[in-house]
Structure 1
């Protein structure tokens, strides 16, 4: 893996672009296997919903840390060294996770995997935006087809492995992501990487930071503080409120003093919308297999997994079609339509019952809605803020990852624990007293997690009653998430009105950015 050369375009852009896609496939392999193993890990390691949420969060927020940190230095250290770091971290993650014997092993293996994913995302997005500077949204959508493509392939392989390996079958499934890791590592060898378009255009590092601004720094730093707190929770500690303020405000004050720029208001707005977007797409995908498995139990133990594979297949196929669509209705129009469809799909899933045809029809609606969210948002940021270079492009992805990692996923898990606690206590108080653990408080919500080992030794009739409550609770959770894309719809409509008042949506060319 080589450092960037002195040319603006890679001499072998197709091979480099394909290698970037496969790197995203490796990321999604790990993601889908982890999503599929939640139910098994819950039983094997007696994990609460909150602990599962913490593991899912650890698979996301560390990724944001490396996305943002590498975006600040990637033009100096080079894409090659960044991807080499990711490759090594992927190998270490596999070793830690496969040898895990408790919650902490699973947590740290997932944490390291996310660090690798952040380095990958910090590199592949600006590489693609530079290679295809005149069709950014289209090619970023193709790049990110690697994510659902990996979900489909990895998911099918995990299902095919089944129980092979006996009680260690889950360890073999974790090792699956080493296949695409080896492929992208081999394809990246000997590559010449392009110079990022900001650098090639002579835009200074300070001007890049001004696009990001102290407002962007504040948003990122706030989530960084929550990330530190989330890590400390694993050891039973908490970050005091005063310390969280220091972590959030310290970098922001320093940034404001040195750079003296609020940042581009629209960019700051998109950062906030990205919090909702990431929870809608990645947060839901993290949980949907686990949530839908008991709902579709009549179709077998892997039924919930098929919902994730099915919606991912829809995404994979449609992301190749983004170019013609954005030429017709603009990227913001596409995002608005997708938000409306995703909200309807999630609400439908929440009320679909257990009829397989109805569930998969609702999943089709959700899959259509979430398809273009992530890459089209990256395309908008790259087209509107080219002076921001790798930083603005990576920051919006980083905020998405860190927000769903430290807030979205753990909060969804906590909401499930809280709601399950209330439903069981209300409908079957005697059973609740038998299986409830000591009270906990998280995100201001007090609840008693249910002990899986105690549930397992209940009489069959009582186990059935608990499962009935769990099924109802799982689907209701998706209904709560449906509110988020509904809010996003109005946000995108507001941006469309803004651009219409300015003559319509048009990508900003770097020459305009330098002189304007």
Structure 2
């Protein structure tokens, strides 16, 4: 029997599936938030804590990978990442019932699969960046588009399964999705993998933090993660509770369309991105993101709010991969260390943004506050609360836009020290 020959194309495909796995990890549980809230009495802040537990664990995995991934090797890291993802998803479908405490089972499951997600996040981008390519920014954007395609598949397939089997059997769905990381675990054991930076030439952490422009990238990544995940994580709940649409249409028109728009934005830039400087593209995206958030919150028409909520997907599409590409071009010797630090910062934003939205919403519900702030006086307190939570989150794309305006000043002043 002839053994199959694996090439760099197979490496790319494995990385694409890695990001689909990451999409499952970040987006599956939020689709069940309304079920958790109604069926098990899990409140807003507990739901928000599920999100923050996910990303705090990913941050811990990011920190470990930043320090040890080069030493352990990309292949072993990716195999371990998919193993934890598989075990975590299986646990999500079983532990809440085996333990007799639904919330404890959810927390444990989230921590398990989030450990895998953190490893994927740090290692997969350097693997693709190291592969031969004439359009590095385009390749990075195309890679990250598969997170969006994965998110869209998670929403569509999970929503369809819920429709068929009923919300009472939601726990079957994580078991189905667990098969993908199991397959990709064995795929990564066979594909060829290159180092990103020649051994001994990587930039040192102390040297990286001496550059003021690197702090700008840290801020950009925090805002990118917060801008993207706040709307992504809360869009389903916002559609159902904030706008009063059904579970089916809330998932399809909220996170479903959000993921589609984000995928299209990254895919289009991945194909034709060499025609548009990444910094200018990021500035346009940040400005449009501010507008989308404001329309979502202030529009008196639920349909327009839902469309704007979904359209936010295209406005955030380049924020994460674009910041990676811009930083890689600015610090060509950054290597895994730089990608890891930026991934940690992105995860801080991913956890802080949705958590702040949930915290603000819970604060308003408890105190019956700011009821006259929004134009629609017919909203109940919970609808009003989720609108106000999203309004606070508009600060993130605003800060990102301001940071991008400062980028040229920083790099011009310090470019001779970066190379």
Q: 260, 263, 288: which is aligned to 1:316?
A: 263
Query: How many matched pairs?
Result: 405
Deviation of residue 164 (structure 1)? 4.4
User: In the TM superposition, what are the counterparts of 1:25-36 in structure 2 within 5 Å?
Assistant: 25-36=20-31
Q: Call closer, same or farther: CA 1:351–1:467 in 2, change over 3 Å.
A: closer
Instruction: Work out whether residues 98 and 174 of structure 1, in 8 Å CA contact, stay in contact via their aligned partners in 2.
Output: yes
1:485 aligns with 2:419: no
Q: Say whether 1:368 aligns with 2:280.
A: no
Give the 3 Å change call, closer, same or farther, for CA 198–322 of structure 1 in structure 2. farther
Q: Is the 8 A contact 1:144 1:375 kept in 2?
A: yes
Cα deviations across residues 283-310 of structure 1 (Å, max 9, x unaligned)?
Answer: 3211121122124434x22232121110
Residue 331 in structure 1 maps to residue 278 in structure 2? yes
TM superposition shift of 1:142: 0.7
Please show how residues 35-46 of structure 1 align to structure 2 within 5 Å: 35-46=30-41
Match of 1:47 in 2: 42
Is the partner of 2:277 in helix, strand or coil? helix
Answer whether contact 1:319 1:372 (CA < 8 A) is retained: yes
Structure 1 position 377, deviation (Å): 0.6
- Point out where structure 2 has 5 or more consecutive residues left out of the alignment: none
- Matching residue within 423, 432, 446 for 2:368: 423
Separation in structure 2 between the aligned mates of residue 301 and residue 41 of structure 1, nearest angstrom: 13
User: Structure 1 132/50 Cα, relative in aligned 2: closer, same or farther at 3 Å?
Assistant: farther
Partner of 2:201: 203
> Are positions 1:352 and 2:317 aligned together?
no
TM-score by length of 1: 0.73
Measured in 2, the distance between the counterparts of 1:496 and 1:325 equals 23
Note the alpha carbon deviations across 1:389-418, whole angstroms, 9 max, x for none: 10111211111113432x333222111100
Distance 1:176 1:354 in 2: 37
Shift of 1:364: 4.9
Alpha-carbon spacing, 1:194–1:11, altered in 2? closer, same or farther (3 Å): farther
Residue 132 of structure 1, CA deviation: 3.9
Question: Matches of 1:380 and 1:26 in 2, distance apart?
Answer: 25
Q: Structure 1: which 5+ residue stretches go unaligned?
A: 1-9, 214-262, 428-464
TM-score of the two chains, using structure 2 as the length reference: 0.89
1:398 and 2:396 are equivalent in the alignment? no
Tell me, yes or no, if the aligned pair for 1:140 and 1:379 is still in contact at 8 Å.
yes
In structure 2, the CA distance between the partners of 1:198 and 1:285, relative to structure 1 (3 Å rule), is farther
Question: SS of 1:297's equivalent?
Answer: coil
Deviation of the 1:277 alpha carbon = 1.9
What is the CA-CA distance between 1:62 and the residue it aligns to? 1.0
Offset of residue 55 of structure 1: 0.4
Q: Distance in 2 between matches of 1:292 and 1:353?
A: 14
Contact 1:75–1:196 (8 Å) recurs in 2: no
State the distance in 2 between where 1:30 and 1:16 align: 21
Rg comparison, structure with higher value: 1
Deviation, 1:344, is 0.3
* C-alpha deviation, 1:329, in angstroms: 4.0
- Cα shift at 1:86: 1.1
Equivalent position of 1:149 in the other structure: 149
The structural deviation recorded for 1:108 is 1.4
* Structure 2 residue 416 is the aligned partner of structure 1 residue 495: no
- Relative distance call for 1:31 and 1:466 in structure 2 (3 A) is farther
Q: Please, what is the CA RMSD of the aligned residues?
A: 2.7
Residues 30 and 174, structure 1, Cα contact 8 Å, conserved in 2 = no
DSSP-derived class of the 1:294 partner: helix
